[in-house]
Amino acid sequence: MIDRDQLVRRYLNVAGFRRGAMRVLPRPVFDFTDGAAEDEFTLRRNEAAFHEPALLPRPLQGVGERDLSVELFGRTLSMPVMIGPTGLSGMLWPDGELAAHRAATAAGTAFCLSHASTVPIEALPKAGNRWMQVFVYKDRGFTRSFVDRAAAAGYDALVLTVDNQTLGQRERDVRNGFSIPPKLMLKVMGAMAIRPNWLWRMRERRDFTFANYTGIEGGADRNTLAGRMNALLDPSMSWADVAMLRRQWAGPLILKGILHPGDIEIALDHGVDGVIVSNHGGRQLDRAAAGLDALPAVAEAARGRLKVLLDGGIRRGVDVLIAKAMGADACLIARPQLWGLAVGGEAGVAAVLEILRRDLDRALCLCGVTRFVDADASLLAPGVVSPIKPKAIAA
Ligand X SMILES: Cc1cc2nc3c(=O)[nH]c(=O)nc-3n(C[C@H](O)[C@H](O)[C@H](O)COP(=O)(O)O)c2cc1C
Residues that bind ligand X (CB under 6 A): 32-33, 46, 84-87, 114-116, 133, 161, 256, 278, 280-281, 283, 311-314, 333-335, 338
222 to each of 154, 208, 243, how far by Cα in Å? 28, 9, 33
Which CB, 96 or 261, lies closer to ligand X?
96
Q: Which residue is nearest to ligand X (CB)?
A: 281
Work out how close the CB of 58 gets to ligand X at its nearest, in angstroms, rounded to a whole number.
29
Work out how close the CB of 321 gets to ligand X at its nearest, in angstroms, rounded to a whole number.
16
- Asked if 87 and 115 touch (Cβ cutoff 8 Å), the reply is yes
> Which residue is catalytic, options 51, 101, 260, 280?
280
Among left, alpha and beta (phi > 0; psi -120 to 50; other), residue 82 is: beta
270 assigned to active site: no
Q: In sequence order, what are the beta bridge partners of 133? A: 159
Which CB, 290 or 377, lies closer to ligand X?
290
To 10 degrees, the CA torsion angle through 218, 219, 223, 227?
60
- Name the phi and psi angles at 35, rounded to 5: -80, 175
Which CB, 84 or 128, lies closer to ligand X?
84
Which CB, 289 or 377, lies closer to ligand X?
289
Work out how close the CB of 312 gets to ligand X at its nearest, in angstroms, rounded to a whole number.
4
Work out how close the CB of 270 gets to ligand X at its nearest, in angstroms, rounded to a whole number.
19
State the amino acid at position 89 in one-letter form. S
CA 367/CA 264 separation, integer angstroms: 31
Which CB, 105 or 161, lies closer to ligand X?
161
End-to-end CA distance of the chain: 49
Work out how close the CB of 277 gets to ligand X at its nearest, in angstroms, rounded to a whole number.
10
Work out how close the CB of 29 gets to ligand X at its nearest, in angstroms, rounded to a whole number.
10
Q: In sequence order, what are the beta bridge partners of 148? A: none
Which CB, 314 or 377, lies closer to ligand X?
314
Work out how close the CB of 211 gets to ligand X at its nearest, in angstroms, rounded to a whole number.
13
Active centre residues (catalytic): 280
